[in-house]
Each structure stands twice: as structure tokens, then as C-alpha cells.
Amino acid sequence: MNSSTIAIDGPAASGKSTIGYHLAKELAYLYLDTGVLYRAVTWAALNRHIPIEDEEAVTALASKLKIEVKSPQIEDGRQYTVQIAEQDITWAIRSPEVNDAVSPVSVYPGVREALTQRMREIAAKGQVVMVGRDIGTVVLPDADLKLYIVASVEERAHRRHLEMKARGSASTYDEVLANLQQRDRIDSNRSAAPLKAAEDAVIIDTTTLTIDNMLQTVDQLVETVVA
């Protein structure tokens, strides 16, 4: 077994989580979508009425918050179960309110430092597929394989809108598109670990790919790296 850490980065709704989950399942690796950690902190701040713009308070919360990510506990389409103090917040962290606030939270250096340390502790055990926005560039710069997944913002908005609609959200396509465009601007221009491809990452454009096409493309690539 040559590869024990696989880093997958890319903007929201590009297909990176689908690809990461598939790879982890195929390889019997741990799957960690690191975005859920930032979403959990955001949800907790909102739930505790901590102003998102209060960097010091949000950072203090991230440093002490005990977030657990487990294998799915319920068969409702989830890829993992996220808990805080044994409360299941798996779908709560996907709410429009969290969507609107998560990017500002992810910019705070203290929050990133606290969560990056946790990610590295998990990766140190090996055999992990870690998905996020700065995994290959910051969290795991020495990952055995790095993928950077992209797609047009219009296609990403279409995917996210269908996903939210299936869960009963009333958000319109235009609202979802505007949210993604704003998140892209924040993520790409933040001073702490901006969203970008690692120099040695393999870039995969999923704009015109079906899920089956995505997985076939990545399977062919990983076959040359993981033995």
C-alpha cells in the first residue's frame, strides 16, 4: 500500500465530497470532509448567540468545542454523522444560516489553527481521504496524492440548489448562486490559507461529468498511485 493520505480540495459543490467519499469507501480509508468542522463551529456560534463578527469569541469557541465526526448513524443519505455534546447536527450545519456565515468563520486564523491541528492528528494515523479547501496546500502538504476538483459556478449552484430543495429548503437558484459566488470571493482572497490548487495537485474539471464519470476518472487515476 503506497498511499496513506489523499488530499482533495476545491470550491463548494464541485464534486469533491462525492469523490472523496467514494474513494474512502473503495479503499476502506477514513473519510473526513473538513468543512463540517468549520460548519460545526459556525452552527455552535449561532446557536450560542455569539456574533459571527466577534473573532475573539468565535476563536475561543473553536478552541474548546468538542466536535465528533462518526460513520453514518442514520440511513438518510448522509455520509457521516456530526455531533456536538451528543447532539446530532449533521443536517443543521447545512442550513442557509450556516451557509451564509461559514466563510467569515473560516477566515479567522485562530479558528483555522485550532481545526488544522485536529485534522493533522487524524491524518497522522494514515489511510485517510481528507476533503477541504486547503488540505493539499496547508493541512497535509506532504499528502501522497493531491486532487483539486473544479466546476463552473453555475453548475455548482445547480447541484447545490437541487440538494437543498430535496431537503425542503426554500432557497432559489439565484440565491444559491449568489451565495457560492460570495463564498468563492472570500475563500480565494482570505489571507489565511486561501483556496488554490497545490502545485503538485491533479486538477479535475467536473462541470460536464456525471457522478459515474467523476468516479471512473478518479478510479483510473488512483489505480496508478495506490497499490
32, β-bridge pairs: 130
Task: Return left, alpha or beta for 23; rule: phi > 0 is left, psi -120 to 50 is alpha, else beta.
Answer: alpha
Please tell me the chain's helix, strand, coil percentages from 3-state DSSP, rounded to the nearest 5: 50, 15, 35
Q: How far is CA 182 from CA 15, 61, 188, in A?
A: 19, 25, 10
Res 60: pLDDT: 98
Res 224: pLDDT: 66
Provide the whole-model pTM.
0.81
Give the start-end residues of each E strand in 4-106: 5-9, 30-33, 67-70, 81-84, 87-88
- 92: its cell numbers: 443543521
pLDDT in tens, 21-46: 999 888 888 899 999 999 999 999 99
Amino acid at 109: P
pLDDT in tens, 143-195: 999 999 999 999 999 999 998 899 888 889 999 999 999 989 988 888 878 89
What domains, with CATH codes, occur in the chain? 5-206 (3.40.50.300)
pLDDT in tens, 78-101: 888 899 999 999 999 999 899 899
Confidence of residue 1 (pLDDT cuts 50, 70, 90): very low
Q: Is the pLDDT of residue 209 over 90?
A: yes
31, β-bridge pairs: 129
9, β-bridge pairs: 132, 148
Amino acid at 207: T
Decide: helix, strand or coil at residue 70: strand
Res 122: pLDDT: 84
